Structure 1
């Protein structure tokens, strides 16, 4: 009978998520993973099998957390569709400003993954694609509500608008990594909101 694990698997996933988020898959070594988790190489890989498997677990943890946060913001029945999208963009501004002020300017783990490993790893690409589908779906519903309540232009396809907002969010995160501060990010968000209005 094997010995029981002596560590909290969820804590390990959270720790490696931060490391992969900051350094990416290629920039993170096994030594880095052992350092942030406090585990030996054998303990790490006996449980998680490989660096790639651990990366997928960390990415899945990140996307489920972030997508749930977006869904919560977008699922506010008392607010108009446009107000919900505006609230989402405000969250992005706050997150990126806080990251910059704390010196953690790592951007979005998902965006970083799309521009690096996803194109050469089908399993990672599937995690990213599933997350994108969920985010687009929640945005599309909020935008359709906005079209019904008159706050969002009714002559545009809500699917196209959902892609537009997703691209806007990704662009804001990249801009923040490039040095854009709160004022610039708020200007981008404001311009994006104007493009959605009737």
Structure 2
């Protein structure tokens, strides 16, 4: 008979997600993971599989939380322009309470692993597309309300905003001059006029 698990899988996965987010996939050792998760290697392997499988689960958890957070922020904004500004400022100031120098785990994965791992290429592409669809929806609502021009092509503009946000996330990892970053954000917002 199998022994019952003596740890909370969700808490352990959240801890693993944090380690991967702080260190990246390659720099994270199994010792880093077991220490943060509070479990032994046999438990890690029997519950989550190998390091890559654990990373995939942690990345999925991150993406799920990130998308829910972004959607809530966008939908709570009083206008389309305010929503886009909130989204971009969230990337810059890390409005979700995390350190902006950590960047976005999905963007970090895009940079570190996607160039040579088809599974992560596809995952990060889908994540970007989901955010783009959220932004596009907000832009369409802005067009319907009359806030934004009827001639605005929401799909392309949503893509441009998300691609800009990816660049901002990467930039924030290097502790840039915040004034220049804020000016860039304001220029992106001008695309909505």
TM-score (structure 2 length as normaliser)? 0.90
Q: What runs of 5+ residues in structure 1 fail to find an aligned partner?
A: none
1:114 aligned residue (110, 114, 117): 110
What residue number does 1:146 align with? 142
Equivalent residue, structure 2, for 1:167: 163
* Number of matched pairs: 192
Check the 8 A contact 1:56/1:127 in 2, yes or no: no
Per-residue deviation at 1:80? 2.0
Q: Match for residue 8 of structure 1?
A: 8
1:99 touches 1:106 (CA, 8 Å); kept in 2? Answer: yes
Q: Distance in 1 between matches of 2:133 and 2:42?
A: 41
> Structure 1: how far apart are the matches of 2:178 and 2:151?
32
Asked if the contact 2:19–2:36 (Cα under 8 Å) also holds between the matched residues in 1, the reply is yes
Q: Shift of the alpha carbon at 1:62?
A: 0.6
CA contact (8 A) 2:107 2:124 kept: no
| 2:44 counterpart SS class | helix
Query: Is the Cα–Cα contact under 8 Å of residues 21 and 106 in structure 1 kept in the other structure?
Result: yes
Residue matched to 1:24: 24
Root mean square deviation of aligned Cα: 2.0
Structure 2 residue ranges without an equivalent (≥5): none
Q: Which has the higher contact order (CA 8 A, sep 6+)?
A: 1
Moved more, 90-99 or 125-134: 90-99
Could you tell me which residue of structure 2 aligns to residue 50 of structure 1? 50
- Secondary structure in 1 aligned to 2:102? coil
Tell me, in whole angstroms, the C-alpha distance in 1 between the residues paired with 2:148 and 2:82.
10
Q: Which residue of 2 aligns with 1:79?
A: 78
Q: Taking structure 1 as the reference length, what is the TM-score of the superposition?
A: 0.88
TM-superposed deviation, 1:181:
4.5
- Taking structure 1 as reference, are residues 14 and 181 closer, same or farther at Cα in structure 2, changes over 3 Å only? farther
- Measure, in 2, the Cα distance between the counterparts of 1:68 and 1:184: 29
Indicate conservation of the 8 Å contact 1:62/1:109, yes or no: yes
